[in-house]
Amino acid sequence: MRSVTSVVAVCTLIVAGAAAGPAYAAGSGPKCGDVLTHNTRLTNDLVCAGPGITVGRGVTFDLNHHTISAGSPSAGGITVGDSSRVSNGVLSGFATALVNNYESQAADIDRVTFRGNGIAVSANFMRGLRLRDDTFERNQTAVSSTDAIIDITHSAFRDNGASLETPLSQVTVRDSTFERNGSIASCLQGILNMDNSVARNNSAGIYLFQCDTSQISDSTFDNDGVAVTFEAFYPGFAGTVVTGSTFTRNVTGIAMYSVIGLGTGGSISNNRFSNNGTGIYANDSGCGCAAEPYAIAGNVFSGNSGDGLHLDSGAAPANVMSNVAKRNGGWGLYVDPSTGSIDGGGNVGSGNGEPAQCHGVTCAH
């Protein structure tokens, strides 16, 4: 009786395990131009010269380690329907490799390599695109979207012209890498959140134009031109935060142009700026108006060839406190009095090129 019970239990577990994954349609694999209405597994590489493959609503398309490539400049890639999934293969050589259809609100794309496409992923107006463990290589643009919500995790962007071009979109990036791209991200009037990610050797970094409520945390920027640029930020929105990150060997770590403030609770805090041209630079806000000071606090500026911190004449006011500036080529901390900034105390400066160490705030030596 015990052996029968054990056999029944094992069989039950096997059946339960089989039911856990998607069931795939039987028969030959899909062809270019097909519309998939059931979960489907690719059985061979495909070269599509005309229409690509459409993945229907709620359907899983397993590329099964195969490659779908473009056979002509007008070839179609994959079109995803709402709540669909594409996984485990390569899309190569398309003008647009993957695009959502008019009704698609959400899709999961995981373990897919996008290689040598014009646009790898186009996601206009999607409200829940999830990119997991994907690789983007040598595309003109890796991810393009307008007015979308996108979550990117454990993904790699290498040698693309542009990695993220996402106006009016809310994009979250976690645990991802960006290497040798023309640019890391361009956010226009949207939100960009980046956490625990690494960017190195990119020609240009992150550009944020009126992207309030954005947050960059626990990330590394190494040799990325101007690593993070803020432009045209205005009062009256929730704060933008840069914290816990490392900036090394960049032309400028953080640059702020025509920035009136970083919003309520905005701050640049607890970061390390080393061996850049300038650690943080802010120019004239162009406003001449009162603005809520944002915090520049707890940062370390060391070994930058110019100033560690430079707030130019007319820049937005900041509360500058508890920063350490050592061995920078110019000023440790330079805060023009016209900014109306607050000396929050606790700043330290030593070994900087300017004998006075700091200007506009007091630094202990």
Q: List pLDDT tens digits, range 285-313.
A: 777 666 778 999 999 999 999 999 999 99
The token duo for 133 is 């463990």
Which pLDDT score is estimated for 13? 35
Place 102 in a pLDDT band, splitting at 50, 70 and 90.
confident
Residue 28 or 339, more confident: 339
Which pLDDT score is estimated for 12? 37
Judge residue 344's burial from the number of C-beta atoms within 10 Å of its C-beta, 0-12 exposed, 13-18 middle, 19 or more buried: middle
Place 145 in a pLDDT band, splitting at 50, 70 and 90.
very high
Does residue 27 register a pLDDT over 90? no
Place 100 in a pLDDT band, splitting at 50, 70 and 90.
very high
Question: Using an 8 Å Cβ cutoff, are 215 and 196 in contact?
Answer: no
Which pLDDT score is estimated for 11? 34
Which pLDDT score is estimated for 6? 38
Does residue 10 register a pLDDT over 60? no
pTM above 0.85, yes or no: yes
The percent of residues in the chain predicted with pLDDT above 90, rounded, is 78
Kindly report the number of other CB atoms within 10 A of residue 232's CB atom: 17
Question: Using an 8 Å Cβ cutoff, are 335 and 360 in contact?
Answer: yes
**Dihedral of the alpha carbons of 90, 91, 93, 95, in degrees to the nearest 10:** -160
Place 212 in a pLDDT band, splitting at 50, 70 and 90.
confident
Between CA 82 and CA 86, with CA 85 as vertex, the angle to 5 degrees is: 130
The structural domains of the chain, with segments of one domain joined by +, span 208-365
